[in-house]
Structure 1
Amino acid sequence: MKEVRLGIIGVGNMGTSHSKYVSQGDIKGARLTAVLDHDAQAITAFEREFGKGVQTFVDEDAFFASGLVDAVLVATPHYDHAYLAIKAFEHGLHVLCEKPAGVYTKQVREMNEEAEKSGKIFSMMYNQRTNPLYQKLRELIQDGELGEIRRINWLITNWYRSQSYYDSGGWRATWKGEGGGVLINQCPHQLDLWQWMTGMMPTRMRAFCRFGQYRDIEVEDDVTAYAEYENGATAVFITTTGEAPGTNRLEITGDRGKVVVENGKLDFWQLRVPEPAFNREYTGGFGEPEAWKVEVHITGTETGHPGITQNFINAILHDTSLLAPGEEGIKGLTLSNAMQLSTWMDDWVDFPVDEELYYQQLQERIQHSQVEKKVANVSLDVDGTY
């Protein structure tokens, strides 16, 4: 294969954004050949903007039976991600899926199983994995420069969203349409990076989600979570869409130093002597290990969505390693599910999370939802986020 014929499923804000950079030739080895959206108005808008060079479909079966695509990029509302990915695998297609992988891990586990059976390339649109800062931090951790991790603190409150944003789509901020709020829509990026950089998943978690705290919505828009790990490390994760100005500060401490990522900058303090060794040997009163601030050389440019898409195409054409393997999408989603479930049950949640219990609790909230949304005619900027 010399060229991948790419089909995009869902041409809302993100699907249209992906269509633009693919159709203008930014992805080497890929050509946009078809798009699918069940909304005829969305297809009409797509045809108006992109012309007739791309085959359009409103019929799902016709799209998959067309033979026009070798791979698909799924950019639909969350609940359809796993279903459409599975259908694509069944038709022998490679899959790049927008985040999150799904709404609940039970469906995502099925998607992962189908991906493995198909033998096709499966990637997640975790575009923040292309950020050189996070790549370097992962490298420092994996190479042991921080030593054994002791504490992780992530304050990520710069996902501000107004009421008009939530009113822009009938599926937004509902249990039935979206399956959650800030954890399932904005924070999949951070939840993925959290486990990807550290290589660790918690043993248990206690979380406090507040639902409709700042906006007229039924899902979570304010979250504080505390996690514990097998090695004794702890983590605190705080997020909201209702504060301005927001903060994005990640601090990871190990027994050999500390890293802080904030305002597009990585600061690294390395201990001259690892803390356990200092503690064993020191006999004074108020001393502490000497810390050196180390200049960390970071190179490269964040390539975002096009970078993940190019990596996906390269994996198909050249067997390049995936930066964001699709099977890893379940990990960040597990953290999200655990936070919601801990709040619903008002208790600690152990890992692995009880998938059946989470699914039952989610279905109860869908069935008892009283939301009747009136969708406002709001123009949303396409800025690479949701």
Structure 2
Amino acid sequence: MQVVRLGVIGLGNMGKGHIGYLLKGEVSGVVVSAVSDSVPERLQWAKEQLGDNVGLYTDPYELMDSGTVDGVLIATPHYSHPELAIASFERGLHVLCEKPAGVYTKQVREMNEAGSRANVKFSMMYNQRTNPIYVKLKELIDAGELGEVKRTNWIITNWYRSQSYYDSGTWRATWAGEGGGVLLNQDPHQLDLWQWTISMMPKRVRAFCYFGKHRNIEVEDDVTAFVEYENGATGVFVTTTGEAPGTNRLEISGERGKIVIENHTLTFWRLRVPEPEFNKQFTGGFGEPECWKCEIPVKGSYPDHKGITQNFVNAILFDEPLIAPGEEGIKGLMLSNAMLLSTWTDGWVDLPIDEELFYHHLQERIDKSAYRKGK
């Protein structure tokens, strides 16, 4: 195979965005050979952009069966991601899936199992993993520069969304149409980076989700979660779409200091002597380890979405390791599911979560959703 023939399923904002940089030739070794969408106007747009040699399909399964694609990029509504991915795996097609991996982990686990049985490449569109600042953070932690992680805190409240944004589509911010709110729509990248950069998932979660607190919507728009890790570390995750101005600050503390990412800057407050060692040796009344403020240089470009797409293509053509393996999509979703389940059950939730219990609670809300009643 010299060129990957890619089928794009879903021509909403994300699907069109991906086609845009592919048309400009910003990803090598790939050609868009087919597209699928149920909206005629979107297919017409694709025809005008891509020409007459590209297959146009209203049914994604016809695209999969066409014999004109080697892999697919799934950019459809959240609920359909696992179903379409599984169907692609069954046909021997490579899969690049937009975030989130799905709405509930039971569904995504089935997708991962299908992917593991297929001899294909499977990647998630976690484009933030190509951001040099988070790559550097992970590099520092993996190299032991911070020592053992003791605390993580992420305040990510700069996801401001107005009521008019939610009113722009009847499916938006509904349990039946979207499956969740800020955790599922805005925060999947942060939830992924939260666990990816430190290579740890929490062992349990206690969260407080508020539903329609700031806007007239069904789903969560304000969340504060507390987590505990197996090594004794703790963490806090705070997010909302209802504050202005918002904050985006990630702080990770360890035995050798703390690292802060804020305003596109990575600062390492580095202890000259690790805190446990200082504590063991210090005999005075008041004192603390000497600390150096280090502005860490972050080099390299940020290829964003096209970086993940290029990596996916390279994995198919040259067996390049995936930056965002598809099976890892369940991790961030596990965190958001756990936060919702903790709120619904008013208690601690152990990870991995009780997937049947989560699905039961979600289904209750889907059944009462205004989107379902309006369809």
How does the TM-score come out when normalised to structure 2?
Answer: 0.97
SS at match of 1:249: strand
Deviation at 1:49, TM superposition (A): 4.3
* AA of the residue aligned to 1:38: S
Is the CA contact (8 Å cut-off) linking 1:167 and 1:374 kept in structure 2? no
Describe how 1:157-172 pairs up with structure 2 within 5 A: 157-172=157-172
RMSD of aligned C-alpha atoms?
Answer: 1.4
Identity of aligned residues (%): 65
Q: How does 1:269-284 map to 2 (within 5 A)?
A: 269-284=269-284
What's the offset of the Cα at 1:53? 4.1
CA distance in 1: counterparts of 2:361 and 2:136, whole angstroms: 39
Shift of 1:50: 4.0
Instruction: State the AA in 1 paired with 2:61.
Output: D
Q: Equivalent residue of 2:244, what SS?
A: coil
**Once structures 1 and 2 are overlaid, which stretch shifts more, 37-46 or 339-348?**
37-46
**C-alpha deviation, 1:46, in angstroms:** 2.9
- Structure 1 stretches of 4+ with a deviation exceeding 6 A read 372-375
Is 1:250 the equivalent of 2:250? Answer: yes
For 2:100 and 2:12, how far apart are their aligned partners in 1? 16
User: Could you give the per-residue CA deviations for residues 318-340 of structure 1, whole angstroms, max 9, x where no partner exists?
Assistant: 11111100010000000000000
Shift of 1:59: 2.1
For the Cα contact (< 8 Å) 1:203–1:227, is it kept in 2? yes
The one-letter code matched in structure 1 to 2:17 is S
Matches within 5 A, 1:50-65: 50-65=50-65
Tell me which residue corresponds to 2:5. Answer: 5
- Amino acid paired to 1:157: T
Structure 2 match to 1:96 = 96
AA in 1 matched with 2:46 = F
Q: Is the 8 A contact 2:170 2:371 kept in 1?
A: no
- Give the Cα separation in 2 of the matches to 1:173 and 1:52: 37
Q: Give the SS at the match of 2:101.
A: coil
Listed as ranges, the matches of 1:58-207 within 5 Å are: 58-207=58-207
Counterpart position of 1:241? 241
Q: What is the alpha-carbon distance in structure 1 between the residues aligned to residue 91 and residue 270 of structure 2? A: 51
CA contact (8 A) 2:174 2:370 kept: no
2:7, 2:71 within 8 Å by CA — same for their partners in 1? yes
Deviations along 1:85-128, one digit per CA (max 9) or x if unpaired, are 00011111000000000000001111111111001000000010
3-state SS of paired residue (1:134): helix
* Residue identity in the other structure for 1:192: D
Letter in 2 for 1:348: W
Paired residue type of 2:42 = A
Tell me how far apart the structure 2 counterparts of residues 354 and 240 of structure 1 sit (CA, whole Å): 26
Given residue 28 of structure 1, which amino acid in structure 2 is its aligned partner?
S
Shift of 1:61: 2.9
- For 1:22, what is the secondary structure of its paired residue? helix
Tell me whether 1:216 sits opposite 2:216 in the alignment: yes
Q: Distance in 1 between matches of 2:45 and 2:31?
A: 20
Does the aligned pair in 2 maintain the 1:167–1:373 contact within 8 Å?
Answer: no
1:35 partner amino acid: V
Q: Quick one: distance in 2 between partners of 1:369 and 1:169? A: 14
- Aligned residue number for residue 379 of structure 1: none
SS in 2 for 1:242: coil
Q: Can you list the C-alpha shifts for 1:24-56, whole angstroms capped at 9, x where unaligned?
A: 211100001100112223223333444434221
User: Counterpart of 1:384?
Assistant: none
* Partner residue, 2:287: 287
Distance 1:39 1:28 in 2: 29
Which stretches in structure 1 are left out of the alignment for 5+ residues? 376-386
**Residues 177, 372 of structure 2: 8 Å contact kept:** no
Post-superposition Cα deviations, 1:351-379, rounded to whole Å, max 9, x if no partner, equal: 1111110011100000122357999xxxx
Q: Which moved more, 1:142-151 or 1:363-372?
A: 363-372
Question: Structure 2: how far apart are the matches of 1:8 and 1:178?
Answer: 20
> Does residue 334 of the first structure (1) align with residue 334 of the second (2)?
yes
Deviations 1:189-213 (A, max 9, x none): 0000000001111111100111111
Distance between the aligned counterparts of 1:132 and 1:370, measured in 2? Answer: 41
Task: Give the conservation status (yes or no) of the 8 Å contact 1:218–1:371.
Answer: no
Deviates more, 1:325-334 or 1:289-298: 289-298
Quick one: distance in 2 between partners of 1:367 and 1:237?
Answer: 29
Tell me the SS of whatever aligns to 1:198.
Answer: coil
Read off the aligned partner of 1:266 and give its amino acid letter.
Answer: L
Does residue 231 (structure 1) correspond to residue 234 (structure 2)? The answer is no
d(CA) in 1 for partners of 2:125, 2:371: 30
Aligned to 1:348: 348
In structure 2, list runs of 5 or more residues that go unmatched.
none
CA contact (8 A) 1:170 1:373 kept: no
Matched residue SS, 1:238: strand
Instruction: Give the secondary structure class of the aligned counterpart of 2:370.
Output: coil
Kept in 1, the 8 Å contact 2:79–2:178? The answer is yes
Distance 1:371 1:5, change over 3 A: closer
CA distance in structure 1 between the aligned counterparts of 2:50 and 2:64, rounded to whole angstroms: 21
Whether the aligned pair in 2 keeps the contact of 1:102 and 1:333 (CA below 8 Å) is yes
